[in-house]
Structure 1
Amino acid sequence: MSGEVKFALTAMLARRDHSCKEVTDKLLAKGFSGSDIDAVVAEYCASGYLDDERFAQLLLRSHINKGHGPVRIQQAMMLKGIAKSIVSESLAGSDCDWFALARAKATRKYREFGAIDPKEKAKRIRYLLSQGFSYEQVNFALAPPEDYDV
Structure 2
Amino acid sequence: MRTKLAQKDFPDDEIEACLQFCSEKGYINDERFALLVVKSQVSKGHGVNRIQQVLTQKGITKLICQQVLFDTEYDWFALAKAKAFKKYNGRPVADYKEKAKRIRYLLGQGFRYDEAQYALDENT
TM superposition score category, shorter chain reference: over 0.9
Aligned to 2:24: 46
Aligned to 2:107: 129
Q: Is the 8 A contact 1:100 1:141 kept in 2?
A: yes
Q: Given residue 48 of structure 1, which amino acid in structure 2 is its aligned partner?
A: G
Q: CA deviation at 1:70?
A: 0.6
Structure whose CA Rg is larger: 1
Q: Given residue 79 of structure 2, which amino acid in structure 1 is its aligned partner?
A: L
**Percentage of identical aligned residues:** 47
SS in 1 for 2:22: helix
Do structure 1's residue 28 and structure 2's residue 6 form an aligned pair?
A: yes
> Could you report, residue by residue, the CA deviation over 1:70-117 in whole angstroms, capped at 9, with x for unpaired residues?
111111111111121111111001110000000000000001342412
Q: Given residue 124 of structure 1, which amino acid in structure 2 is its aligned partner?
A: R
Aligned to 1:59: 37
Which residues of structure 2 form unaligned runs of 5+?
A: none
Distance 1:103 1:52, change over 3 A: same
- Structure with the bigger RCO (C-alpha within 8 Å, sep 6+) is 2
Q: Is the 8 A contact 1:56 1:87 kept in 2?
A: yes
Do structure 1's residue 96 and structure 2's residue 74 form an aligned pair?
A: yes
Q: CA deviation at 1:50?
A: 0.8
Aligned counterparts of 2:93 and 2:15: Cα–Cα separation in 1: 58
Q: CA deviation at 1:39?
A: 1.3
Which residues of structure 1 form unaligned runs of 5+?
A: 1-22
Q: Is the 8 A contact 1:102 1:137 kept in 2?
A: yes
Q: Tell me the TM-score normalized by structure 2.
A: 0.94
The 4+ residue runs of structure 1 with deviation greater than 4 A are: none
Q: Is the 8 A contact 1:113 1:142 kept in 2?
A: no
**Higher mean displacement: 113-122 or 66-75:** 113-122
Aligned counterparts of 2:93 and 2:106: Cα–Cα separation in 1: 18
SS in 2 for 1:50: coil
